[in-house]
Amino acid sequence: MTFLTVLAALLKIVLIVGVAFNLAAVLTWAERRQSAMMQDRFGPNRASFSLFGKEFRLAGLVHLPADGLKLIFKEDFVPQNGDKLLHALAPMLSLFAPLVLMAVVPFGDVLCMDQLKNGHLWDAVERFGTCTGAAGPKSLPAIPMQIFESNNGILYVFALSGLGIVGATLAGWSSDNKFSILGGLRAASQLVSYEVAMGVSLVGAMMVYGTLRIDEMARWQGEHVWGIFVQPLGFLLFWAASLAESKRTPFDMPEGESEIVAGHLVEYSGMKFGMFYFGEYLEIVVSSALLVSLYLGSYNLPFLHRDGITIAFGDAIWHKTLPHLLVVVVQVGTFFGKLALMCWFQLFFRWTLPRFRYDQVMRFGWRMLLPATLVNLFLTGVVVLAIDRAGEAFADRLGLVADGVNLLLGALMVFAVVRLVIGFAMPTNRAPRPGANDAPQTA
């Protein structure tokens, strides 16, 4: 434990907290603006500030500080017979739980400090090296791009995501309001139910990757293929469960205008409400981060490895070494890019899917999702066992398939970018409206 590692840890904490908080804040804007675009309307665009006599609206981003200021200066209301301590504790817990989850999420491969120290800034490192340098007394440690290198990373996730339940339940209890307690109970039962399915759905991934460490999982995906291709069913099940965990629209049982008003949030105002609200968006960030880390290749791009780009189909076809610092920067950028894209994609669900009824949610959780995860677990076990028994030759052939998948994936990504650019450049094709060519009505 040197001064360098402590400094690096602090820097990583600042980076992750900064990104998570800012991403969550931007999500509050994105959700409103994005849903507006989906529904053919403007969305927030009125808040503005003036600078040098000009008015700036920044596409509605000014609403963010405006909303924040409003929440801060609003009256902090506590019900007369409510539990004041728990009433204050509940929003803290619901904000705290998703935040600490980000600690175990790796956002890049290791940074080999030795490499930098020796002045080989533009040299590549070995692809399969340990990156510990000369291991002499003067050598510097390799710094993992992860705040907390836990041996049981996934279990840590399970343990702390359960804490969010406590926040919602406490909020319901301490508000001294029937709607609140009903909302709190609904939240508790829903979260507990889906916690089970979420846990079991991940076991399949653990079996494939052979580890509990999330950084190891990420590395496995870089060497082989993204998790979504080896665990497609597990991916969908985990996604569904994490959607339910975030208490958002298809699963927003704890709230419901016509049933229990705002549920456990009824008696919250000002910044305490703001913390709940913020916690919800943090949960989106965290669940997106987990989805990216476990199933979508984490910080990996196809063919980009620690030493550079290696396009291979069984044997290497094309190889190019890249400087270590560049690779690390690309990897970190890739992770945060994927994270933002996944958050953006998750917002679509709320504005596309209709809401469940409460009994449907429970039935879905226990009678559909949980059996499905068990089936996934069983199938995965059988397949993993079969591959282990199949021998080297079959493993090579599987490697070929993985390379093919990676080739396809790379091509798909290039295609998506090109399609996006072309689509943006093309003018909108409007069908002529009947009567559009008639003479204008006002002479």
Partner 1 sequence: MPLPLEGPVQYDRVKGTKISKPGRNAVQQAYVKDIADGLAITMHHFFKNTKEMIRGTRPDAVNDPMEDGVTTLEYPFQKRPYPERFRGVHRLTHRADGSPRCVACLCCSTACPAQCIYIEAGEYPEGDKKRGYEKYPVKFVIDELRCIFCGFCVEACPCDAIRMDTGMHPQPYDSRDQFVFGKSLLMSFVSADGEQQSENPRREPGEKGFAGITRLGQHH
Binding region for partner 1 (CB under 8 A): 34, 36-42, 236, 348-349, 351-353, 368, 423-424, 427-428, 430, 433, 436, 441-443
CB nearer to partner 1: give 42 or 128: 42
Q: Which secondary-structure segment (H or E) carries 312?
A: strand 308-313
Give the strand pairing for 49-51 and 54-56: antiparallel
Query: What is the distance in angstroms between the CA of the first residue and the CA of the last residue of the chain?
Result: 82
Closest distance between partner 1 and the C-beta of residue 45, in Å?
9
- Gyration radius (Cα) of the chain, Å: 25
Inter-residue contact 121 to 329 (CB < 8 Å)? no
Closest distance between partner 1 and the C-beta of residue 227, in Å?
18
Please report, to the nearest 10 degrees, the dihedral formed by the alpha carbons of residues 10, 12, 14, 20 taken in order: -150
CB nearer to partner 1: give 313 or 348: 348
Q: Which secondary-structure segment (H or E) carries 112?
A: strand 108-112
Inter-residue contact 184 to 173 (CB < 8 Å)? yes
Phi, psi of 319 (to 5 degrees): -135, 140
Closest distance between partner 1 and the C-beta of residue 59, in Å?
8
CB nearer to partner 1: give 22 or 352: 352
CB nearer to partner 1: give 119 or 427: 427
103: left (phi over 0), alpha (psi -120 to 50) or beta: alpha
Phi, psi of 49 (to 5 degrees): -135, 155
Closest distance between partner 1 and the C-beta of residue 217, in Å?
25
Inter-residue contact 28 to 277 (CB < 8 Å)? yes
Q: At what angle do helices 270-295 and 163-174 cross, to 10 degrees?
A: 160
CB nearer to partner 1: give 80 or 429: 429
Closest distance between partner 1 and the C-beta of residue 203, in Å?
20
**What is d(CA 443, CA 437) in angstroms, rounded to the nearest whole number?**
15
Closest distance between partner 1 and the C-beta of residue 96, in Å?
32
Give the strand pairing for 142-145 and 108-112: antiparallel
Closest distance between partner 1 and the C-beta of residue 38, in Å?
5
CB nearer to partner 1: give 138 or 430: 430
Closest distance between partner 1 and the C-beta of residue 424, in Å?
5
User: How many other CB atoms sit within 10 Å of the CB of residue 59?
Assistant: 11
CB nearer to partner 1: give 53 or 432: 432
Q: Which two tokens stand for residue 207?
A: 């079996």
CB nearer to partner 1: give 173 or 364: 364
**What is d(CA 368, CA 324) in angstroms, rounded to the nearest whole number?**
46
Phi, psi of 422 (to 5 degrees): -65, -45
CB nearer to partner 1: give 2 or 428: 428
Closest distance between partner 1 and the C-beta of residue 43, in Å?
9
